[in-house]
Amino acid sequence: MNTLSAAVIAATLMFTASVPQQARADVVVIVSAENTTASALTVNQIARIFEGKSNTLTPVDILRPSQARREFYAKVVGSDDVLVRANWSRLIFTGKGTQPKELPSGAEVVKAVAADPNAIGYVDRSFVNMTVKVIYTVK
């Protein structure tokens, strides 16, 4: 490798490190600190709850658009928000489900989940406090 190539690579790395990258949410799934049974949920069980295929817990969503919402549905449910909303519309229309409550912020989701031992939600880790417990970290 010649010195010009090495200099270009070094400059590119320094520039890339100095430019803020798109923020990636550190998304976690939470339940009330009072819930003693949800800690054993698998990622598949969590996905089924948010797809309306299981009623073991009541899902709480963050309003669109939200980076945490996009990341949660892509990585946990394995679907995008449009398909998930279409699924919920079908469930509501057929009387087989009620769409999750949608709240405007992570702080509101934490507050709602903490108040209901049967609720489950997802938020950026920065919103987690002692009133809720993390049962899964989105990877």
Per-residue pLDDT of the chain (139 residues; tens, 9 = 90+): 555 444 444 444 444 444 344 455 699 999 999 988 888 899 999 999 999 999 899 999 999 888 999 999 999 999 988 888 899 899 999 988 888 999 999 999 999 999 999 999 999 999 999 999 999 999 8
What pLDDT score was predicted for residue 1?
52
What pLDDT score was predicted for residue 11?
46
Residue 23 structure tokens: 């923020």
What pLDDT score was predicted for residue 55?
87
Residue 80 structure tokens: 């995008």
Please give the C-alpha separations between residue 40 and each of 21, 36, 85, 111, 134, in angstroms, as whole numbers: 34, 9, 27, 22, 11
What pLDDT score was predicted for residue 24?
59
What pLDDT score was predicted for residue 12?
45
Q: Which domains does the chain have, with CATH numbers?
A: 25-137 (3.40.190.10)
* DSSP 8-state code for residue 75: I
